[in-house]
Amino acid sequence: MIALSTDDFGLKAKVLTEVLPYIKMHRGKTVVIKYGGNAMQDEGIRRMFASDVVLMRYVGINPVIVHGGGPQITEYMRKLSMEPSFVNGHRVTDSETMEIAKMVLVGKVNKEIVSLINRHGALSMGLSGEDGNLIMAGKRPSEDGADLGWVGDVEHVNVEVIEELLSHELIPVIASVGSDEEGNSYNINADIVAGEIATALSADKIIYMTNVKGILDPSGELISRLDAEGCSRMLANGDVSEGMIPKVSSCLAAVEGPVGRATILDGTIEHALLLELFTSGGVGTMIVQSMDDLLEGE
Amino acid sequence: MIALSTDDFGLKAKVLTEVLPYIKMHRGKTVVIKYGGNAMQDEGIRRMFASDVVLMRYVGINPVIVHGGGPQITEYMRKLSMEPSFVNGHRVTDSETMEIAKMVLVGKVNKEIVSLINRHGALSMGLSGEDGNLIMAGKRPSEDGADLGWVGDVEHVNVEVIEELLSHELIPVIASVGSDEEGNSYNINADIVAGEIATALSADKIIYMTNVKGILDPSGELISRLDAEGCSRMLANGDVSEGMIPKVSSCLAAVEGPVGRATILDGTIEHALLLELFTSGGVGTMIVQSMDDLLEGE
Amino acid sequence: MIALSTDDFGLKAKVLTEVLPYIKMHRGKTVVIKYGGNAMQDEGIRRMFASDVVLMRYVGINPVIVHGGGPQITEYMRKLSMEPSFVNGHRVTDSETMEIAKMVLVGKVNKEIVSLINRHGALSMGLSGEDGNLIMAGKRPSEDGADLGWVGDVEHVNVEVIEELLSHELIPVIASVGSDEEGNSYNINADIVAGEIATALSADKIIYMTNVKGILDPSGELISRLDAEGCSRMLANGDVSEGMIPKVSSCLAAVEGPVGRATILDGTIEHALLLELFTSGGVGTMIVQSMDDLLEGE
Amino acid sequence: MIALSTDDFGLKAKVLTEVLPYIKMHRGKTVVIKYGGNAMQDEGIRRMFASDVVLMRYVGINPVIVHGGGPQITEYMRKLSMEPSFVNGHRVTDSETMEIAKMVLVGKVNKEIVSLINRHGALSMGLSGEDGNLIMAGKRPSEDGADLGWVGDVEHVNVEVIEELLSHELIPVIASVGSDEEGNSYNINADIVAGEIATALSADKIIYMTNVKGILDPSGELISRLDAEGCSRMLANGDVSEGMIPKVSSCLAAVEGPVGRATILDGTIEHALLLELFTSGGVGTMIVQSMDDLLEGE
Amino acid sequence: MIALSTDDFGLKAKVLTEVLPYIKMHRGKTVVIKYGGNAMQDEGIRRMFASDVVLMRYVGINPVIVHGGGPQITEYMRKLSMEPSFVNGHRVTDSETMEIAKMVLVGKVNKEIVSLINRHGALSMGLSGEDGNLIMAGKRPSEDGADLGWVGDVEHVNVEVIEELLSHELIPVIASVGSDEEGNSYNINADIVAGEIATALSADKIIYMTNVKGILDPSGELISRLDAEGCSRMLANGDVSEGMIPKVSSCLAAVEGPVGRATILDGTIEHALLLELFTSGGVGTMIVQSMDDLLEGE
Amino acid sequence: MIALSTDDFGLKAKVLTEVLPYIKMHRGKTVVIKYGGNAMQDEGIRRMFASDVVLMRYVGINPVIVHGGGPQITEYMRKLSMEPSFVNGHRVTDSETMEIAKMVLVGKVNKEIVSLINRHGALSMGLSGEDGNLIMAGKRPSEDGADLGWVGDVEHVNVEVIEELLSHELIPVIASVGSDEEGNSYNINADIVAGEIATALSADKIIYMTNVKGILDPSGELISRLDAEGCSRMLANGDVSEGMIPKVSSCLAAVEGPVGRATILDGTIEHALLLELFTSGGVGTMIVQSMDDLLEGE
């Protein structure tokens, strides 16, 4: 990366001026960010992510972070000599696994993100879906005859807690764990939790930080803009790779609901969030309800 | 326990009427409860504890719960084939131990308490000392030449977060983990955290739930009321058993500061909290600044 | 009644725990209580009533008390050598009678209730229907050719005053006197005033404290639960005793309007209010819009 | 009085313009008015009083009305064949007398004032000293060996209730009855209650409406302005007529405390309040802390 | 004008009492006043206007003042040797003229009004349509083939700014200048601006202060009350003099919209505003939606 | 200036990240900016100034702009064939000159700044010292025997108006005109007005935008940092050029009062404000109370 010397003062001012219209456009907006994948592994990328989120907050955007932590759960299970098993991509979650999943997500991954952000000040609060009954969940039905155990589906999101934190200019960091009225905990796919929270908040934007560049067309080229109809067609035609299906489906559900835009981007790009928000092209694939929305808003 | 039949209607009303003056006395007061020890192990006692706390909230008291979880940490360390070691009662905490401690305290113990309370409604929020920079800590100096690792001392408590939750009639449940400005986590004695939080909140009362009946006199009799001077003398004379020193010292510091009263009681007594708050004798040992306070307030 | 000795600690806690679900159910609810009859005469019952109301307030319920005071008015008239006369149960109210009625209701009965409650703290405020134009009234038409004088019907209730008091956690105690825009005062049946206020407040519950056990079936047995249809049928069939007609009609109107439940109970039962609110069976007769409501709410 | 014809339009505007500086001077100020004496007897004067108070409220002044009602109490006692007796001007008040006093003051006189004001809108609320524990009182010691019964002295005024009403632009009308913590009622001299309330409110002004022109000098001339020192000297020299002593003493205590000015005026002058507030000379006698205050403020 | 001597005390009180019902009627109402014409030229009339507006504010009315200043603009243009030209009553406004118009309206006329009012206290704030983007405008189309230059039409009024000032009991004084999103300024007819602001505020009343007595009937008699239909007919029949057309059209649009009443009066009558608001007849011509409104409201 | 191509994405993110600590440092701070000199003349620089101020607002800084407009006043006087005259740098201000000064400052210069800012949204409000009696002033005494006419000194600043605007996230733009209680207007040196407003607001920083690089040492080198003592010594020694004396004196008074820092910089540098706030070196000369402050804060 290029070093900025004293001579770059003019350049710095120029950059800030170019960013101004984007700040104006996003001020006061709520942006749900599904944080995950490789962007979570590399220490340098994690620090950048944290400072990008703080900058968003400082220019008046309301970021809400949702995270899972599959690889970290697997790692701890291995330490404890437990063998993870999966059905259709869902981790089969017995009670012992659930306990470990919760410890890893809430006690480790969540607090790491909170810590990185709070090095810039008392800016974020970590939440599990159990706190204030934030994420009410129910048991996911068996798939292919296999009982998934404590794998859950979101039944209701109590957004008041999130809205309260946002009104105090705090950044909610939410682990993808839910609970039911009996106090049982559920392990829920974080992509889906992020989508449900964005919908419940009527967020302006949802951003999925992944390991891939975005949605690719059959020739392997990145699709930069996609409308709901096109997105729907690709899912129907099987043009979306299997690992991407939950993200793409959640994006589609979000923009067909009250969420303005959904973006899938490569979280390992340095400052991917800033580029997405503060440059004209953005990065990754943006999905909108219809292409007409795109014209008026941007 | 006695079953209440329909005939007990009059009895029920009588009990409620007798409780009224105590409710009046405690309404609007903030009570910090150090929850721990055996009261945390037995499922039945835990459920009682949760319903007692909910009842406190319902009659207008502001409970704040602080907890540790030493035995649970040790249990997980053993599962991972790690051997705990202690110096002067402090767990020597290397980075790996700290990670496990945090996972157990924040991701397991804390959420269990939150879940038990929230079965009565969206009533509690779990917090780690890292959330909103609630507990700012520093490294505890070496003791007896031994580096304790990530064992910390409380340097500052940001009570705004707790006060905000109380003002929304929520019950804060706080794990005894702190952090510094670089984002390092510290394992802190929960007895001390509870005392510091009570002091920072200028709480009306702090209650330590332990495995013992209270402070005993040399003949082994329970001391029911003790003033700061007497408490101080007992500590100086070595009349307090070693395991009780942090609790008794914290009690003393609290009542010499802004906290009205400090009580040490046996958390395994059924409904110990209710008995302490809603009967004339209370249970355990109550420490006050001076015996004069006792006369006017109760 | 049974004396509670130290041994009853466990019992006390048990009772409180049993009461918890009822507290949860009623918290934040507004309950209008028509206070009257014999429950007003006996000093011991009056004190119990006051402490029951304070307890309701303390556990988060919003009580609103409405009262008349027929016997007390008659007593004062007799002292002044005036002979009360009634038409269809309405006191014929000439100007002199009206003045006495107002003095007795507002200056004597109302303040007695306020005083009893305020012995527990600055908890209640007495109101006449003239204060803040709370109860706007008009003259009731002649009945059976007899001019009833200053007997009134409720035309409008200005609930803002009541709501303001409730929002400050005060207990409104309201005398059944109304006024018109020219400043004339009216004597209004307190059963009707209570029903109108409950309706205007969209109260959750109205409780009539009477001298009878509740509504009886033709065989003289107490009916515990009754739906609007059944209640309506009983009124039509003449199965309701004459003195009970205004109460039963007001109950019916209330539950056919926005009020959830209406209960008629014997106010001379010790702690009748607590039993009604905090035991599963309740006492007296509860009238609901339909039996289905009963299932879901209780 | 002169009739205003259409030709008087210019005159009307001129009067309003002349009044403007006085409105400016009094806006936002709290004025306690002791209402009593003959001004309470004449129907026409009473209506004027009520409309003057409403006008005060409308131009941004906060009026607080305090009243007694000695003659009305005596009248009712006579109707009940009771013989009033007095010691040093205090009505000897046994329990039966107290009950009647309360009924007359709270149930009759107070509501008459409230009604007259509320004919202009929902503008006033009547209060007894028992409401919200507004006036806490204690028993007045025996005088000249005679037990005065339930005659009280003010011990504390809970001004929050009054301030709350004023903040909602309501006019408090307060009967001079107090209570103690056991719920006993006391009959208190309304001149003294007015002074205590003005002091507790740190009112800007207190006005005593009486049957006399004001304080007279030895030659019988009205004294228009008097400072605390002069007032004190007159009381010491016995230059104040006996019936005026409580009023003059209360005025003195008020201006030696936080109250800016105290005025004694003849309440039977038509629109005495408006003349006092909105003309340069005022009417009656104004007492100030020192003559220097007078120069700067007016 | 008649001088008021001490003897006039009774008269003063009588006038105030007569004014009371009008104060009651107008309290809390928003009244937009188009200030202009000769009422702006005479120093004495200007001071009266200012004190009338202050009195309105003091009795609880929310006045909003809108002004132009054609003659003053013309005067300054002449000083700068520029020749004003008009098309259909619109000043042809090139850039230089616009600059002068803005300086005169915002920097001179507006501040003169603000100063006169603020001599009574910190009561008013001057605003141009550019402040807070209060008046968003667009270019008015050519008329009779003549480009009018920077003459504008109101496109949108951002009433939040005005409402904020009113909620702080401040009097907004608004110069009839607007701007577009590119920051261009427009000269807009003040009669029209006043009407648009009254409509955007849903004001209760709009008052046009002019040089004429009001709307005259064909025989030259003042029409005192006129409904929308009659007004519309007069405009259609050409019964309204040319100079009055913008005012009368704005009145009609206002009452056909959410504004209750519109009055055209002679601003040179001494205290015209007070006479209009506080006498039964008012002065000038009042236009209402229908004559029925008139009956109920006044 | 360098054009940013798509390749510069990384650069953009890098600049934003570098700016983050400065945003953190300045968030929530109030910065008074004296805008003037050549920075006001050049259209491009003016647009930059406006967008810099908007960016400040967007990142959470509270900018308050104070301006004069000497050259523009002179220009208009010349157009009107009036000859400006000066005594010790003060414009001799007769009534006609005052009128023109006000028109130019309030009606032209102020609105130009407001317009430029509001092209980015409804962000700023223009104020003259007369609005809400913002700047109360008195006549400046004669200098060298010459009566300066309506030249004023600041006597009091009513900061509530400014604070209210800031609390609504609006940018106050203030013309350096004051008024006295009789409504006379005064022409006041804008450097002094800016200093007085910064002091009254206890602003964190005041920035003077001038035509010079800053304060120069005797050898003509820019002094980058200066403490109050050094600043005071330079003024005493005559080391400050005459035109700079009011600015430097105001800076000194500000930092000796409650204002944290005062900076004099060259307003014609592109984006001078951004460079001052968001780069480590800043531009121009910064004056602090003592050099110790500098160490801790920056």
Q: Which residues neighbour B296 within 8 Å (Cβ) at sequence distance 6 or greater? A: none
* pLDDT higher than threshold 50 for residue A298: no
- Write out the H or E segment, with its range, that includes residue D18: helix D9-26
What are the C-alpha distances in Å from C172 to residues C64, C65, C167? 5, 6, 11
Greater model confidence, B207 or F295: B207
Mean pLDDT of chain B: 89
Residue closest to C125 by CA, chosen among C201, C57, C52: C57
Confidence bin at B294 (pLDDT 50/70/90): low
pLDDT of residue A269: 87
Q: Minimum mean pLDDT among A26-35, D30-39, D74-83, F15-24: which range?
A: F15-24
Question: Phi and psi at residue F255, in whole multiples of 5°?
Answer: -75, -25
In a domain, residue E19? The reply is no
Q: Is residue F42 part of a domain?
A: yes
pLDDT of residue B287: 95
Count of other CB atoms within 10 angstroms of residue A218: 8
Residue C135's DSSP bridge partners are: C157
Q: How far apart are the CA of D208 and the nearest CA of chain E, in angstroms?
A: 19
Instruction: State the pairing for strand pair E90-91/E86-87.
Output: antiparallel
Q: Residue F114 pLDDT more than 50?
A: yes
Report the percent of chain D where pLDDT is more than 90: 67
CA angle B146, B148, B149 (to 5 degrees): 125
Asked, for residue A8, whether it belongs to a domain, the answer is no
**Does residue F264 contact residue F256 with C-beta atoms inside 8 Å?**
no
C14 with B27: Cβ contact below 8 A: no
pLDDT in tens, A215-249: 998 888 999 999 999 999 999 998 888 878 889 99
Give domain status of residue A7, yes or no.
Answer: no
Q: Which whole-number Å values give the CA distances from A218 to A221, A245, B33, B98, F274, in the listed order?
A: 7, 15, 61, 48, 46
Taking an 8 Å Cβ-Cβ cutoff, which residues of chain B contact chain C? 1-2, 4, 6, 9-20, 23-24, 27, 48, 51-52, 54-55, 58-60, 120-121, 270-271, 274-275, 278-279, 281
Does residue A145 surpass a pLDDT of 90? no
Average confidence score pLDDT of chain E = 89
Q: How large is the ipTM?
A: 0.91
pLDDT at res. A211: 86
Q: pLDDT band at B278, cuts 50/70/90? A: confident
Contact: B111, A118; criterion CB under 8 Å: no
Arithmetic mean of pLDDT, F276-286? 84
Please enumerate in sequence order all residues whose Cβ is within 8 A of that of A258, keeping only pairs 6 or more positions apart, or say none. A199, A202, A203
Tell which of C5, C12, C273 to mutate to test the B interface (max B CBs under 10 Å): C12
Distance CA D278, CA A68 (A): 73
pLDDT in tens, F218-274: 888 999 999 999 999 999 998 888 878 889 999 999 999 999 999 999 988 888 898
- Burial level of F127, CB count in 10 A (0-12/13-18/19+)? buried
Q: Is the CB of E60 less than 8 angstroms away from the CB of D58? A: yes
Cα separation, E106 vs E68, in Å, equals 9
Q: What percent of chain E has pLDDT over 90?
A: 68
**Among partner residues D9, D120, D274, which is closest to E24 by beta-carbon distance?**
D120
Average pLDDT estimate for E145-163 = 93
pLDDT value at residue E294: 62
- The pLDDT, as a whole number, for residue B246 is 85
Where is average pLDDT lowest: B231-240, C217-226, C279-288?
Answer: C279-288
Q: Please state the rounded mean pLDDT for residues B88-112.
A: 94
Q: Among C14-28, E93-107, F108-122, whose mean pLDDT is lowest?
A: C14-28
Q: Write the CB contacts of F110 (distance below 8 Å, at least 6 apart in sequence).
A: E106, F67, F126, F127, F128, F173, F174, F175
The verdict on residue C144 lying in a domain is: yes
Per-residue pLDDT band for B164 (boundaries 50, 70, 90) equals very high
**pLDDT 10s digits, E204-228:** 999 999 988 899 988 889 999 999 9
Is D19 inside a domain boundary?
no
Q: Tell how many helices (H) and how many strands (E) occur in chain E.
A: 11, 14
Q: What is the interface size between E and F, counted as CB pairs within 8 Å?
A: 104
Interface mutation target, options D4, D11, D15, chain E, most CBs of E under 10 Å: D15
D5 domain residue, yes or no: no
Position E8 confidence tier, pLDDT thresholds 50, 70, 90 = low
C252 or A38, which is more confident:
C252
Q: How confident is the model at residue F36 (pLDDT cuts 50, 70, 90)?
A: confident
Nearest chain B residue to A175 by CA: give it. B107
In angstroms, the CA A32 to CA A254 distance is 11
Is the distance from CB of D132 to CB of D161 less than 8 angstroms? yes
Q: Is the pLDDT of residue B136 over 90?
A: yes
Interface list for chain E against chain F, based on CB atoms closer than 8 Å: 79-80, 99, 102-108, 110-111, 114-116, 118-119, 121-122, 124-128, 130-133, 158, 161, 164, 168, 170, 177, 179, 181-183, 185
Q: Which residues of C touch D156 (CB under 8 A)?
A: none
- What is d(CA E182, CA D38) in angstroms, rounded to the nearest whole number? 71
D interface with E, Cβ–Cβ below 8 Å? 1-2, 4, 6, 9-20, 23-24, 27, 48, 51-52, 54-55, 58-60, 120-121, 270-271, 274-275, 278-279, 281
pLDDT grade for B2, boundaries at 50, 70 and 90? very low
CATH number reported for the structural domain that contains residue D106 in this entry: 3.40.1160.10
Paired tokens of D286: 């104004």
Supply the pLDDT for residue F297: 42
Is residue F65 very low, low, confident or very high in pLDDT (cuts 50, 70, 90)?
Answer: very high
**Do A and F share at least 3 CB pairs under 8 Å?**
yes
pLDDT recorded at residue E40: 85
Average pLDDT over residues F98-126: 94
pTM score: 0.89
Separation of alpha carbons C20 and C60, rounded Å? 12
Residue E296 has pLDDT above 80, yes or no: no
Residue E122 scores a pLDDT above 90? no
> Has residue C8 got a pLDDT over 70?
no
Distance CA E165, CA E142 (A): 36
b vs e for B36-69, b when ≥16 Cβ sit within 10 Å of the residue's Cβ? Answer: bbebbeeeebbebbbbbbbbbbbbbbbbbbbbbb
Task: Judge whether residue F72 has pLDDT over 70.
Answer: yes
Owning domain of residue B140: 66-189
pLDDT for res C2: 37
Would the CB atoms of A182 and B131 count as touching at under 8 Å?
no
User: What kind and span of H or E run contains F56?
Assistant: helix F43-58
Residues 6+ apart with CB under 8 A from F230: none
pLDDT of residue A270: 85
Shortest distance between the Cα of F78 and any Cα of chain E, in A, equals 10
**Average pLDDT of the segment spanning B102-115:** 96
pLDDT at B143: 84
Q: Which of E191, E126, E127 is nearest to E153 (CA)?
A: E191
In DSSP notation, chain C reads -PPP-GGGHHHHHHHHHHHHHHHHHHTT-EEEEEE-GGGGT-HHHHHHHHHHHHHHHHTT-EEEEEE--HHHHHHHHHHTT----EETTEEPB-HHHHHHHHIIIIIIIHHHHHHHHHTTSS-EEEEETTGGG-EEEEEPPPBTTB--BSBEEEEEE-THHHHHHHHTT-EEEEESEEE-TT--EEE--HHHHHHHHHHHTT-SEEEEEESS-S-B-TTSPBP-EEEHHHHHHHHHTT-S-GGGHHHHHHHHHHHHTT--EEEEEETTSTTHHHHHHHSSS-SSEEEES-HHHHHHH-
Mean pLDDT on D274-281: 83
* Residue A9, pLDDT score: 66
pLDDT of the residue at C294 = 62
Cα–Cα distances (Å) from D127 to B202, C110, C132, D139, in that order, read: 37, 12, 11, 21
Residue C9: per-residue pLDDT: 65
- Classify residue D13: in a domain, yes or no: no
Over residues D270-292, the mean pLDDT reads: 86
Contacts of residue D147, defined as CB under 8 A and 6 or more positions apart, other chains included, come to D92
Q: What is the pLDDT of residue B175?
A: 97
pLDDT in tens, C111-151: 999 999 999 988 999 999 999 999 999 999 988 888 899 99
Confidence bin at D5 (pLDDT 50/70/90): very low
Q: Which residue has the higher pLDDT, B270 or D177?
A: D177
- Alpha helix (H) residue ranges in chain A: 9-26, 43-58, 70-79, 95-102, 110-118, 160-167, 190-201, 228-236, 245-256, 272-278, 291-297
Q: What is the mean pLDDT of chain A?
A: 89
Question: Count of domains in chain C?
Answer: 1
- D17 → closest Cβ in E20, E23, E271: E271
What is the distance between the alpha carbons of residues C113 and C123, in angstroms, rounded to a whole number?
Answer: 11
